[in-house]
Amino acid sequence: MTSFAAPIAEQIWDMKYRFKDADGTPIDATVEDTWRRIARALASVENDPKHWESVFYSALADFKYLPAGRITAGAGTARSVTLFNCFVMGTIPDSMGGIFDMLKEAALTMQQGGGIGYDFSTIRPKGADVKGVAADASGPLSFMDVWDAMCRTIMSAGSRRGAMMATMRCDHPDIEDFITAKSDPARLRNFNVSVLVTDAFMAAVKADAPWELSFDGTVYKTVNAADLWNKIMRSTYDYAEPGVIFIDRINAMNNLGYCETISATNPCGEQPLPPYGACLLGSINLARLVNEPFSETAHLNETALDHLVSTAVRMMDNVVDASRFPLEAQRQEALNKRRIGLGVTGLADALLMVGARYGSDEAAHLTGMWFKQIARAAYLASVQLAREKGSFPLFDADKFLASGAMQAMDEDVRAEIREHGIRNALLTSIAPTGTISLYAGNVSSGIEPVFAYAYTRKVLQKDGTRTEEEVVDYAVQMWRDKFGDAELPEYFVNAQTLSPSEHVKMQAAAQTWIDSSISKTINVPVDIDFEAFKDVYLQAYETGCKGCTTYRPNAVTGSVLSVSEEKSSAPEVISGDEDAPATPHGDVVYIAEPLDRPQALEGSTYKLKWPDSEHAIYITINDIIQGGRRQPFEVFINSKNMEHFAWTVALTRMISAVFRRGGDVSFVVEELKAVFDPRGGAWMQGKYVPSILAAIGSVIERHLVSIGFIAGEGMGLKEDPRAQVVNLNESRGPACPSCGQYGMHMVEGCMTCPSCGHSKCG
């Protein structure tokens, strides 16, 4: 018997969360070992660790409580990683030294596995005077490019690529460039971007009034507010970004408004945070708490919910003490406020199980009831922790209870806080939960609707072949198990059948009882009218949401997932960041183990002469045949220039390690070609190449095109630097897998080696 509800759940566990030695040998033999590891680690800070280990294990068992991926993968492993999901970095100083100090802090944070957010509004606009150097400022967008390049080079802990959020105020002089920045398909691909929208701006939009763009007291430009709003909407309509953050509402509702000001969020938007703010995430799996599903008496088990929330709050509070932090400022911020982000996953599945149609008034009412219960249970649990362990250091009862969010809280809870204090400054948040939802059996993620009832996932096997398996939504599978092939009831809806207003209704119902924010994407059809699209954002503002993000299929980012009437047919991509939804898209499948190396491989060697360099660089790329397809397997980069030795060895090892994992490895080209040298690049054959690494990337790209691995040149440099090809084996025939000699040729219908007699036929 297995604890996993679906094959994909076990695969996710093995690839993402299972504790293994450096050589890949499993240490967690079963998922129960993983739960035990987490429970023991989080109980270690308690006075009675054995008791709390048992309690915590019970909460984790059967996937009822799902700590975020960083906790699940890192707790109890003794690895030097942070268990916190997301950070907002310090305020960026408007100086060159300060900006690059912030860049270093960002790199250190991402190296340990944290997603980061930044407000770039503090950097002077493009063209502003830079005193003392007789120059004009390059503006915040240019420095965002620097951050983006840094992010490309860092693979964060647990093999995750870094994730970043950039925000800018709606009154910054460069806001118009910020709004359209990601219309360039090759720019800022490691950033999510959102505009900080103020109440004053929304009032100006409604009044069709002028709006000043200013910095440091100087007005640079005056625009029409409605025109600027339409520009935001048009870019979002065309390119899916920027998102919109209602920043005044966030600060007004913040429990800590008396001691912090927020101007940025984490990469997925569910955590508005102050400078150096950090937050950890975890989710209650509502799909596991429904009693008697698909019956007349189906209901959410409220007693079990209260108990689970209370345990989850204690576990998350312990993470604050158990975690490492990339920066001391982040540690101090976390200890002073002890904010946590407890949310849910499986909401849509739970609604299906009790017979409620997602997006209906009934579903919104149930969502409000369930989330109020979660909020009450979380706050009361935190009060109990305060009685036992003390309130968070910056707690001020009068100011805390006067905050916007606390005005709606029941009086009995307010009275408890007033008398005993509270352990955690903020407690609730809703993350996307993409990967952990798959791990829990493909439950619907976060508060999103079911995206598709089923889809076909292509899995790349070790021998290079692909197999297909059906991945079914958790509630749909439960229906099938109970009723067989009976037709799904009308209340079974998915993202393709919902109106945008129904999405907003559900987000607003949840937001009432969430003290932080919500990560939710409102999927809209490609043919939605622009005016109707704009109304989605106005509805979100008017109904109390703290932000809004939509997705309309477009030419830049494509379609998230193609779904047929019966089921989708798309391969699965495991998200690089647990904060991001693990939506199937693209023809990329990552596998757990590297491919085995044959004794001999075919390949080509390329000569690259970088201008002003004494010695040429030689790049050898060897290929392997997998599933009838030729693909790169390893790279060797050599030069007589000893100054190049260390980085060429490092590059050889890293690229080869990526290639040996198989799958679509063409992203290596994109990453290399995007690297620029601050000392300047070089002109080659009339084209500017930004760095020697970019030139190497172009050579690799040309090789991939020549072997048919990719169809043609991708984004970035339009033409490759001219490299002389030194072909070692063009006319020799394939290499023999036995002796390594070239010259394999067809003899009586079988490939045979003339050197040693090895034959493919045996």
Distances (CA, A) of 667 to 371, 392, 526, 658, 697: 41, 45, 27, 10, 10
442 is catalytic: no
Number of H helices, E strands in the chain: 23, 32
Per-residue tokens: 98: 């300060």
What is the Cα–Cα distance from 216 to 221, expressed in whole angstroms? Answer: 13
For the sheet with 617-626, list strands across it: 629-639, 617-626, 602-608, 724-726
Catalytic-role residue among 268, 545, 736, 753? 268
Q: Is 572 a catalytic residue?
A: no
Tell me how far apart the alpha carbons of residues 628 and 544 are, in angstroms, rounded to a whole number.
55
Q: What is the rounded distance in angstroms from the CA atom of residue 162 to the CA atom of residue 147? A: 11
CB contact at 8 A, 196 and 178: no
Contact 419, 411 (CB under 8 A): no
Residue 78, CA distances (Å) to 32, 332, 335, 737 in order: 19, 21, 21, 42
Instruction: Yes or no: say if 188 and 144 are a contact pair by the CB < 8 Å rule.
Output: yes
Q: Which residue out of 255, 266, 285, 523 is catalytically annotated? A: 266
Residue 411 in tokens: 């009086």
523 labelled catalytic:
no
> Alpha carbon of 464 to those of 7, 593, 612, 653: distances in Å?
20, 12, 42, 22
How many CB atoms lie under 10 A from the CB of residue 337? 25
Q: Is 41 helix (H, G, I), strand (E, B) or coil?
A: helix
Of the candidates 98, 226, 62, 163, the residue with the CA atom closest to the CA atom of residue 519: 163
The rounded distance, in Å, linking the Cα atoms of 594 and 487 is 43
Question: Which segments of 417-465 are extended strands (E)?
Answer: 454-460
User: Residue 716: which residues within 8 A CB-CB, separation 6 or more?
Assistant: 186, 670, 673, 674, 694
Given a contact cutoff of 8 angstroms between Cβ atoms, the answer to whether 396 and 403 are in contact is no
First and final C-alpha spacing in the chain: 42
Q: Would you state the structure tokens that stand for residue 447, as one six-digit string?
A: 């508060």
- Separation of alpha carbons 445 and 437, rounded Å: 6
- The tokens 């400054």 sit on which residue? 425
- Copy the structure tokens of residue 500: 């945008």
Residue in this structure with the two tokens 């990453």, named with its chain if needed = 671
**Do the beta carbons of residue 713 and residue 673 sit within 8 Å?**
no
State the Cα–Cα distance between residues 114 and 87, nearest whole angstrom: 7
Token output for 499: 């109106």
The single residue of 105, 270, 416, 602 carrying the catalytic annotation is 270
Q: DSSP secondary-structure letter at 288? A: G
Q: State which amino acid sits at residue 295.
A: S
Nearest residue to 600 (alpha-carbon basis) of 762, 756, 750, 464: 756
CB within 8 A of 648, min separation 6: which ones?
617, 637, 638, 639
Confirm if 92 and 234 have CB atoms less than 8 A apart: no
> What residues are annotated to the active site?
266, 268, 270
